[in-house]
Structure 1
Amino acid sequence: MAQGAPPVVRLAATVVKADGDRLEVTDANGKPVSLKVPGDIRIMSVATAEPEEIKPGSFVGSAARPGPDGKLTALEVHVFPPNMRGTGEGHRPWGSDPSASMTNGTVGDLVVSNGRTMTLKYGESGTQTIVVPPDVPVVTIDRGDRTLLVPGAHIVAFYTRGEDGTMTATRLTVGKDGTVPPM
């Protein structure tokens, strides 16, 4: 019987040292972890943003789950630059929480009152309305590179584990200027 690809696992960590194809980090518990980093790895940068950066016509992504009233309530919002419009467009399950979802789309209607309520449009006719409470992290996301992998940088690494136990990163999200990636 053929085996499928190994599962991709998420790791929030802090960079200790980047050296060639190795990335030494500490996980959330302070445990040292070593990741193999392929030459063609996709690296994204994340920086803190203001809620005002969520505007009609912006392309954003929002992790959300239903609130007490049943409306989708944002857990975090990512504002993409114009050159990344369309990235991951759509609505789908997110993470291990079966009630959580990720929606990437263009902001249509936007109501600003005690936070924000935005309608995201995606595909031919898909829409989701998401409430963004005032305390939800809002970040900008952009393409990044290895120069961001400096000691102290906060990352989210997605990796696979080989049969020999080697952890190989498949993509990295790196916080800029002390930003801790919320995802």
Structure 2
Amino acid sequence: MRRVCLAILACALLGICFPVSGAVNLTIAATPAGPHIGDVIALNGTVSGLSTIAVFLFVTGPGLDPRGTTLDNLNIPTGRGLVTTAPVHMSNGTWTYSWDTSVILGTLRPGNYTIHVVTMPVDGLHFNRGEHAATTIAFQPPKIPVTESPESPVLPVAALGIAGTLCCTVRMMRK
């Protein structure tokens, strides 16, 4: 009887210390579709099967480190604590991240980039494939701002002429 009680107690303690969890499932989505470099990209998704306070994001694509880079600085490879973090809403497992591509360090070129979301702060070569989701974004060239037409050369020439006339008039009056 005593052994049975100890076995039940041991199972209960193991269940508390190491809870059984289902498979981890991550999702990611990006909007708008077909963004231009310089646009703000809304990244969002869900995490289930795991109680966590944050997910970790990194980007891979043309000209970037093959391990992936942080979203805010394309010159920094992901890993060793250098990651982009998105907080998870514990009540429903959703997360959001606003990626402003107009204020990143590094060069974002037109082309296809993959945004990865993982549950551990690791690089693209060391994450658990089962705890990963990705989406591809096809960046378009930046929107070219409307160029202002140059001022007519008449205004500066007229101002120069008026200033010259005033200077000559002042000198003549002094004599």
TM-score by length of 2: 0.25
Instruction: Decide which structure has the larger Cα Rg and report it.
Output: 2
Identify the structure with the greater helix proportion.
2
Q: Which structure carries more relative contact order (alpha carbon 8 Å, separation 6+)?
A: 1
Higher strand share: 1
